Amino acid sequence: MTVFSVRHSTVYRYRRPVGFGEHHLMFRPRDSYDQRLLHASLVVEPKPESIHWIHDVFGNCVANVAISKRATELRFETNIRVDHMPSAAPDFRIDENAMGYPFQYDADELPDLASTIRPHYADDGGAVADWANQFVRTGSKILTGKVLMTLCYAIHEGFSYARRSEHGTQPPLITLRSRKGSCRDFALLMMEAVRSLGFAARFVTGYIYVASRDGQANLGGGATHAWCQVYLPGSGWVEFDPTNGIVGNRDLIRVAVARDPRQAVPLSGSYFGRASDDLGLTVQVNVTTQSEPQDEVSSIA
């Protein structure tokens, strides 16, 4: 077991005091058999009027923050500590009838998976589908795990990582044509590619542990990270990080899952003022590790 500590700071700055609408944060990791939340804290300045917690439609923890004071600076700082059980490679214990591609999902699961199988973005001329199909054109059945791993590594090795300042995630067709993008762009491209092949896929937002900031460093560190999951009968939701070529949960701290990236924005909100009042924001994410797990479990109210 490894204990990861994450400090995530976001600061918005304004030319003059402005008012604030409700802000929504996704930072509290999802408890599971492979990661256990030990501690979570949230500090907001100016001090919020209230923090209201909910579970969204996907079961993610969302903090809704109401701020009544006007200010020239709005600061969010979150700190979490997670007991993490890494896997260097996926445990592909796939059901026998799904070992080879193509296969059919079970009729009992299909209604729940339907929205994650259907492609969500325009694919003019079928370029994304054609790109994905090159990995299965063998004339016979191919191992399901091999299809997904090959596709994941193809993005990792054939596309250039570029941190973008623009909001949102670019359409998969643009990522495919430009051969570059951010971690969110690569995750969405893989999702839409495997969906075109009939797989169920969903988006994951969270953090990645970067062992070294130089040399062989993983890409995407220093900010929130994104990857995807594909549902495989017998294995469940399996992690694929095409940005770094990671299959399995190694170094990945899962915070939220969603059908579409727009449903898993780590921090969103609004302010009341002129457009010219916005002086921008700074984001700092630090992920560190410690050798011995902590026994205590603490969290914010």
Span 55-79, pLDDT tens digits: 999 999 999 999 999 999 999 999 9
What confidence score (pLDDT) does residue 141 get? 85
pTM for the full predicted model? 0.90
Q: Alpha helix (H) ranges present in the chain?
A: 110-117, 127-133, 144-158, 172-178, 183-196
What pairs with residue 104 in β-bridges?
Answer: none
Q: To the nearest whole number, what is the mean pLDDT of the chain?
A: 90
The architecture in CATH of the region 2-84+265-290 reads Sandwich (2.60)
Span 255-269, pLDDT tens digits: 999 999 999 999 999
Span 213-232, pLDDT tens digits: 423 445 555 689 999 999 99
Candidates 226, 269, 285, 222; CA nearest to 77 is 285
Span 201-214, pLDDT tens digits: 999 999 999 876 42
Spell out the domain ranges in the chain: 2-84+265-290, 96-250
CATH number of this structure's domain 96-250: 3.10.620.30
Longest dimension (CA), the chain: 65
Span 130-149, pLDDT tens digits: 999 999 977 788 999 999 99
